[in-house]
A and B are shown apart, each in its own frame.
Chain A
Amino acid sequence: MENILEITGLCKRFGSKRVLDGVTLAVPESCVFGFVGRNGAGKTTTMKSVIGLLRPDGGDITVCGERVTYGGARTNRFIGYLPDVPEFYGYMTAKEYLSLCGRIAGMKRVDIRERSDELLRLVGLEGEKHRIRGYSRGMKQRLGIAQALINRPKLLICDEPTSALDPVGRKEILDILKDAGRQTSVFFSTHILADVERICDRVAFLEGGKIALCGDIEDIRKKRSDTAVEVLPENPADLARLAERFPAGEVSGGCFILKNASRQNAEELFGFLLENHISLVRFERKEPSLENMFMEVIGE
């Protein structure tokens, strides 16, 4: 699988503050990639470097195999970009704005018209005749995605697209991004982990100017050893039997918890419960949440 975006050893400092300190990551084709980090971790700096709006102090960025240069980045023809707070010309309508973007990108008139209609339908602005001036934040965000997708980019970069939105707006944007991810790679930054869990295939955690953890979400989950099995027996007296048979486990809050349980451990435990006719209220295998992983990564 070819990588659409490759960042190698990206460094950037603002004054004495080292924001990026050797960021390395790769976004493969047709993938929704979550870029997670706290506020001020350097997510926007990374993204602006990718579209050539910031000059990195070191490192290399390639988009579709071409090197990104600062200033008039030619690689931007492969990219659609949605800034964190997108601002458009308030005196235009959504359609006029998309037409402006299409012409800037060098598209043909007929193509612009067809693509605009298609995208306005996708983002739910097709009936909107008003000027952008009167748009809500969510509407601007949706128009932002439409303008980013107008020239069928191979890579869609969205800077915190859901941060400022209410739950309904957030869901809408996530659905649109997931939809867009079928045709193009999506690289989006966020600090909302639930969003990542909802739509991403891959994730990277940015912490201290470096990528602390990166990979396929399922793989990361599997690699983590902190999968726990939690058992709540109907009769509390059975807790002691469980603790005796599985000394690695512990009793806490009326439950028996077996930490770092492999699949085999879980099967053994379940077999033991069946053999001994221990009746259950609950038997649960707990996956580590991204939030736990993130907290672990940032050391809190």
Chain B
Amino acid sequence: MRFLRNFVTFTGKEFMELCRGGRLLLFTVLFVLVGVLNPATAKLTPWLLETMADSLESSGMTVTGITVTAMDSWVQFFKNMPTMAMLVTVVLFGGCFTSEYAKGTLIPLLAKGMPRSAVVAAKTFTMMLVWSAGFWLSYGITYFYSDYYWDNSVVRHYAFAAFGLWLFGALMLCCVVFFSSFARSAAPVLLGTGAVYVVLTLLGMVGTVREYLPSFLLQSGDLLSGQAQPSDYSAALWITAAACGLLLAAAFPITSKRRL
């Protein structure tokens, strides 16, 4: 009861912080921008190539009959989402725990009997909610324009591929929660999360373990073209979900024991 009450109150405080600090606006602009950018890039590609046709021709390339489909728009989505939206989300949330520990803003509230687990839960929930809402907003915009200009039916399994990408983003945020449970500032949190990303990507190049790694979820090209099936990704999905659970499960007791 006390946990639930404090969780709700503290989540409210988190959103007030997001609004008044201007970060909520930033997230909205970011995700809308990414959502619009995908079909826009696809739409503008023929025009861009045509305007450059002359200079390309002089270097020996001929541009003829470019046809753009919804596939181009979705490929952009799966390229822009991790590189722009996910990165910015992780960076903007990187210090959300550690800045409170460093400043001591939690002390008066903890001294009122608020359990630390309520803080971890509320912050994790807020991050996940922002990431999910933003992600699916971007998805919705891309879906709408891709279908409006072209036809989404030529693209296979885009919803499933998007779910995989969303889960990978959730894993990165779980890394932020985990590293925040013992780090003293935002820098080690971001470094740790970045290191996880790099290690996963490097291991992803090894053929044998590739499809068991969360980073496999980022490789959606074969899914979109229909060369791969969703079932090929089930191992990576389960392992990513389990990793999220483990990171969070570790973050709670570590945070409860850390010195404030």
B9's partner among A82, A92, A100 (CB-CB below 8 A) is A100
Task: Say yes or no: A105-B21 contact (C-beta < 8 A), given A53-B107, A91-B16.
Answer: no
Q: Is B111's CB under 8 angstroms from A88's CB?
A: no
Residue B245 at the A interface, CB < 8 A?
no
For A36, the chain B residues whose CB sits under 8 A away are none
A44: shortest Cβ distance to chain B, in Å? 11
For residues 48 through 69 of chain B, which have their beta carbon under 8 Å from a beta carbon of chain A? Answer: none
**A74 to B2 CA separation, bound complex (whole angstroms):** 11
For B116, the chain A residues whose CB sits under 8 A away are 71-72
> Chain A: interface residue count, which band?
20 to 34
Report the nearest B residue to A85, measured CB to CB. Answer: B104
A83's partner among B2, B13, B104, B117 (CB-CB below 8 A) is B104
Q: Is A53's CB under 8 angstroms from B111's CB?
A: yes
Please count how many residues in chain B sit with their CB below 8 Å of the partner chain's CB atoms: 28
For residues 211 through 260 of chain B, which have their beta carbon under 8 Å from a beta carbon of chain A? Answer: 256-257, 259-260
**A103 to B12 CA separation, bound complex (whole angstroms):** 11
B198: shortest Cβ distance to chain A, in Å? 35
A282: shortest Cβ distance to chain B, in Å? 51
Residue A89 at the B interface, CB < 8 A?
yes
Task: Say yes or no: A103-B5 contact (C-beta < 8 A), given A76-B112, A88-B108.
Answer: yes
Q: Is B16's CB under 8 angstroms from A92's CB?
A: yes
B86: shortest Cβ distance to chain A, in Å? 26
Q: Which residues of B contact A (CB under 8 A)?
A: 2, 5-6, 9-10, 13, 16-17, 20-21, 103-105, 107-117, 256-257, 259-260
17 contacting pairs across A/B (C-beta < 8 A): A53-B107, A71-B116, A71-B256, A72-B115, A72-B256, A76-B111, A77-B112, A81-B108, A85-B104, A86-B108, A87-B105, A91-B16, A91-B21, A92-B16, A96-B16, A101-B112, A103-B5
